[in-house]
Structure 1
Amino acid sequence: MNIISDMVVPARAPYSVTLKAGQLMRIIDLESQQAVDALFYNAADTSERYSAQDTLAAQAARGGTFYLETGAVLLSNEGRAMATIIADTCGFHDTCAGACSCESNTVRFGHETRFMHACRENFLTELGRYGLGKRDLVSNVNFFMNVPIRPGGELTVDDGVSAPGGFVELRAEMDILVLISNCPQVNNPCNGFRPTPIRIIVSET
């Protein structure tokens, strides 16, 4: 295995990388219970990007669930495979709850949270590096985030279930741009109310 990059992403920070088809990205939850939000774009044509709707529809057609787990294929808005989860110690990941923002913090937790750091701001920071902006924000994956779906269809954010050193590993199925927000949320338990660093290793065989 040839390691291309190995870095620690600080708590609350953004990160981005371009993966070539066949390369692997391992996201490691160093201290446990840290949500990691991710966006995916075709590196050659960013108008093609991750679609939670297409991904979940394909999973449902195969009898799968609303969660992403080992073997899950992340599909684009053109129905093409972007990445596959090839290894996972957590057991499931969310792609329904979206990314936190200053606006949603205000609605959910009160006006005093209006200017708290949020994943949407991390994503916009990284998107700007590639000439992209607000119009390019799409549905995202929340790795390590525990979002039970209640019988009535409500989403609830509960304590994360990942242990220290837990990881998820993806294989790129096309050249993809990956944007990461190491979630800064402190108003719900997705980060155990204490955002922590993560480690990201990019490799190839």
Structure 2
Amino acid sequence: MTLISDQFVPARAPYSVVLKQGQTMRIIDLESQQAVDALFYNAQDTSERYSAQDTLAAQALQGGRYDLTTGAVLRSNEGRPMVTLTADSCGFHDSCAGACSCESNIVRFGYETRFMHSCRENFLTELAKYGMDKRDLVSNVNFFMNVPIRPNGELTVDDGVSEPGGYVEFIADMDVLVVISNCPQVNNPCNGFTPTPIQILISG
């Protein structure tokens, strides 16, 4: 495959790109323990977008995993494959815990965190470039984020397990708009309390 793009995404920053069908994206966690939030839309019709419910329901029929790893197919709200994970050094990625926002920061960490930068702000910045707004925010994937489910059903954000240079790779099953927030969260251990840069390689 031919390298099309090699992009450095700074800590806390957003990024977006249209990945053509058959192209591959590799997200590299350069320094370890960096959560990368991602949204997916059909680039030809953005009303079709990633659905955690459809994705996890399909996985339940194939063994019941609630997380994502190599072989996982991310499905749209129409049940169609959007991207397929083809390589993964981490072993699991979250699709349940959602993205941080000013509102969730207040609830989880106190009113003084209200104005801290969040993934929701990053998403809205990138979506505006494509004529979309907060009404187009949907469930997201949290690459490299360690979110175990406790025996009582509680979701807990634990320390990330990705090593420096850890990666996840996926191939586009349709032309797909990928919107990324290199998570700025500093109040829980999803980024090791210190957001760091990532690298994104696109091949085709």
Q: Same fold (TM over 0.5)?
A: yes
RMSD of aligned alpha carbons: 0.4
* Distance in 1, Cα, partners of 2:163 & 2:110: 31
Confirm or deny that 1:118 pairs with 2:118.
Answer: yes
The structural deviation recorded for 1:64 is 3.0
1:165 aligned partner: 165
Structure 2 partner of 1:145: 145
- Aligned residue type for 2:61: A
- Rounded to whole Å, the distance in 1 between the matches of 2:153 and 2:127 is 32
Q: How does 1:81-160 map to 2 (within 5 A)?
A: 81-160=81-160
- Aligned partners of 1:153 and 1:69: how far apart in 2? 21
Separation in 1, partners of 2:154, 2:64: 19
SS for the counterpart of 2:55 is helix
Q: Structure 1 segments of 4 or more deviating over 6 A? A: none
1:1-205 equivalences in 2 (<5 Å): 1-204=1-204
CA distance in structure 1 between the aligned counterparts of 2:144 and 2:39, rounded to whole angstroms: 15
What code does the residue aligned with 1:181 have? S
For residues 61 and 152 of structure 1, the distance between their equivalents in structure 2, rounded to whole angstroms, comes to: 23
Q: Secondary structure at the match of 2:125?
A: helix
The SS at the match of 1:129 is helix
C-alpha separation between the residues in 2 aligned to 1:64 and 1:82? 20
Count residues with an aligned counterpart: 204
What's the CA shift for 1:7?
1.0
For 1:64 and 1:182, the matched residues in 2 are separated by: 28
**Equivalents in 1 of 2:177, 2:100: separation in Å?**
21
Whole-Å Cα distance in 2 between the matches of residues 56 and 150 of structure 1?
18
Unaligned 5+ runs, structure 1 = none
Q: Aligned equivalents of 2:92 and 2:121: distance in 1?
A: 25
Q: Counterparts of 1:158 and 1:117 in 2: how far apart (Å)?
A: 20
Please give the per-residue CA displacement for 1:120-168, whole angstroms capped at 9, x wherever unaligned. Answer: 0000000000000000000000000000101111000000000000000
SS of corresponding position for 1:105: helix
Alignment-mate amino acid for residue 4 of structure 2: I
State the 1:78 CA deviation: 0.1
The DSSP-based 3-state class of the residue aligned with 2:164 is: coil
Provide the rounded CA distance (Å) in 2 between the counterparts of 1:93 and 1:153.
18
Counterpart residue identity of residue 121, structure 2: E
Alpha-carbon distance in structure 1 between the residues aligned to 2:152 and 2:175: 39
TM-score (norm 2): 0.99
1:51-79 Cα offsets, whole Å, 9 max, x none, are 00000000001113100010000000000
Any gaps of 5 or more consecutive residues in structure 2?
none
Partner of 2:120: helix, strand, or coil? helix
Length-normalised TM-score, structure 1: 0.99
Q: Distance in 1 between matches of 2:5 and 2:69?
A: 24
Q: What percent of counterpart residues are identical?
A: 80
